[in-house]
Every structure is written in structure tokens, then in C-alpha cells.
Amino acid sequence: MKNIWYNTVKYIVKTGLFFTHKKIKVFGKENIPEEGAIIFIGNHQNALLDAILIPTTTTRNIHFLTRASAFKTKIADKILRSINMIPVYRLRDGKDSMNKNIAVFEQCFEFLKDKKAIQIFAEGEHHNFRSLLPLKKGFARIILGTLQKYPELDIKIIPVGINYDSHLNFPSSVSVYYGKPILANPYFNIEKPDTSYKTIKAKVSSELKMLTTHIENLEEHDTIIKTLKELNVDFLDPIATNKILQNLDNETPKKAKKQKLNWFTPIHIFFRINSFIPLFLWKNLQPKINDIIFTNTYRFALILTVFPLFYLIQAGIISVVFNYKYGLTYLAVCIVTGLITTKTATLTP
């Protein structure tokens, strides 16, 4: 029954992502073992969207560690746990709460023993840099603890690079790169463990830096981003972009591409007029988002809930005033124009 609920939510979320993004490209799915203990480790630049992109682009049933602050209410706690989310506590949640991670880790040991999959963002926090931050050691502690209890178990790490053409705007595109599996066992000495976990962190970090755009010099981050945009790089292709970064001083800026006439503009205008109330709500909500990295998370939530609810109400009114055929036609028009807008519009704030 739980798997049915998980898969139902998964496909609803997948539909929402489809209507939120212009393109979702997935590479390296052949690198994901169909069975066995796995830890997916991804970079973290776009809040909740990162967390749901991995489960919706794989066939594995995934348990994922989520910031404990999301579990504050009883309702949220119950819903999140029902879809395999596990609260993980950070120092900012209070020093006393850190002890709760012991139980969380024990739970992860058992998931891996049962050859299930876990998802972790090892940077420890989301950010708006096109760069990989130093990895925290939580994932390594989970692997070591599991191997100490179950030394015969093979644990594989799948590095995941998540790349957006824009982290904050709509409709953005995203590429997900699954790297080759890393067998974690050889990196751990169960009898005399190195609790700094330098070797495994370096290995995973190295792999992730190849799967996502990585700007080493954060002090020059914004300047480098400006240069990359002048070169018209494709941020959805981290391999090509990283090659350019290695030789950035010798690159010649390209002429800006002329803006082509968008023949779908009338449909975009109709969509905005037809969606006036949801867009008005978004216009008022957006300035109140304290952490801008959550911008697309809130936008996704509105697209998944408020927009379809508004169209259903409108369709119901039309059905009552005229007849259900007109109501269904209107609903179909809403879906088609919304889809066309998402897939053909240019990026807007």
C-alpha cells in the first residue's frame, strides 16, 4: 500500500515538473543499478526541486534525508514520512536536536541493509553558486556505520549532477547527470576508520565536479558567470562548460543571438489573461519569499495546486452556466495553452 501511495505522489510530482520546466534532460540512467544498496549524492542549488528530480527520474524507490525544519507540524511530518522523507538535524536546529541524528543514521543503516536507496545532498545546504561546495561527512558516517553492522554488504554511491539554465526564472530547463557507481567499501577501514573521511569525500567531490558546472574561485563567481553568459555557454551541458572554464582567458566572446520572433506569443498572452488570479497571487507571494533559492519551489507548488484548482473552478462555472461540454473544452484549452507556454516561452522572472 505504501508503494502505491509513493508511486502515486511520484507521478503527480512528475507531472508538475513537466509543466514547470521547458526541458528535463536525463543522462546516465544506465549507471543506476536496478537493485542493491545505493546512496545518491547530488549537488544542491535549487531547494525542493533538487530533492524531487532524482526520485522522478529513476525507477528506484528512494528514501531521502530532508531538513528537519520541514517536519515542524504533525500534518507535515506525517505526509513527508509517508513519501519516504527522513528528517535530518543540523546545528542550526539546536545543539540538543543533533542527538536525534543517531536514530536517523540507524534507520539509514537498515535501509541500506535491506538494499534500498537513499538520497543525500552532501553539501549540507542549498546555494545559488554554479559550484560544488565542500562536502559534509554525514554520508560517509552512514556508510561506515552500515559497514560496521553489516561488513559483507556492498554499498554503491551514485553521484548526481543537477544543472539548471536558470535557478530562479520561468520556464527553466534542467539536466540531470547520473555518474558511474562508486563502490564505497574499499574507501573504509572498519577496524581503524579514518573519521575525517578525506578519501571518500575527495572521490565523490571529484566526480560531482565533472557532472555539474564547477567554478573553483567563488570570489570571482559572478564575474566568471557574466563571462560564460557572454560566451553563450549551455549550462545544461556541464562537461562542455567545464572545458571552457579551464581555458576561459583564451575564449572569445560570441555575438549575442538575435531574439527570434516567437510565433506562440498570442497563446502566451491568452494564458496570462486566462490565469490572471493565480498569476496575481504569485506576484504578491514572490516578494515575500525570504530565501530566494526557494523561488522555483514555491512556483512549482502553485503550478501543481493553485493553477489546476482555478481552472477546475472556472470549468465548473462554465459547465453550470452553459453545459459540461463547454466546461471540458475550456479545461482542455487551459491545459494545452499552459503546456505550450511552458515549452515555448522565454525565461522571465
Does residue 349 lie in a domain region? Answer: no
Question: In the prediction, which pLDDT does 87 show?
Answer: 82
Question: In the prediction, which pLDDT does 312 show?
Answer: 96
- The answer, yes or no, to whether residue 34 has pLDDT greater than 70, is yes
Does residue 232 lie in a domain region? Answer: yes
Instruction: Examine the domain organization and report whether 18 and 162 are in the same domain.
Output: yes
Q: Are the CB atoms for 71 and 125 separated by under 8 Å?
A: no
Would you call 122 helix, strand, or coil by DSSP? coil
- Residue 219 to residues 131, 216, 277, Cα–Cα distance (Å): 12, 9, 42
Q: Are the CB atoms for 32 and 180 separated by under 8 Å?
A: no
- CA angle 63–66–71, rounded 5-degree value: 110
Comparison of pLDDT for 267 and 194, the residue scoring more: 267
Range of the domain at 166: 2-212
Cis amide leading into 171 (omega within 30): yes
Looking at the structure of the chain, the number of domains it has is 3
Comparison of pLDDT for 195 and 30, the residue scoring more: 30
- Please count the other Cβ atoms lying within 10 Å of the Cβ belonging to residue 67: 19
pLDDT digits (tens, 9 = 90+) for 66-102: 877 777 778 877 878 888 888 887 666 666 666 777 8
- Residue 268 to residues 47, 63, 286, 348, Cα–Cα distance (Å): 27, 38, 20, 12
Q: What is the 3-state secondary structure (H, E, C) of 21-39?
A: CCCEEEECHHHCCCCCEEE
Instruction: Examine the domain organization and report whether 245 and 275 are in the same domain.
Output: no
pLDDT digits (tens, 9 = 90+) for 282-306: 999 999 999 899 899 999 999 999 9
Provide the CATH number for the domain around residue 177: 3.40.1130.10
Instruction: Examine the domain organization and report whether 285 and 238 are in the same domain.
Output: no
Does residue 260 lie in a domain region? Answer: no
Chain CA centroid to CA 172, Å: 12
Instruction: Examine the domain organization and report whether 245 and 269 are in the same domain.
Output: no
Instruction: Examine the domain organization and report whether 197 and 303 are in the same domain.
Output: no
Instruction: Examine the domain organization and report whether 101 and 157 are in the same domain.
Output: yes
Q: Are the CB atoms for 63 and 111 separated by under 8 Å?
A: yes
pTM here is 0.92
Per the structure block, which three cell numbers stand in for 322?
452553459
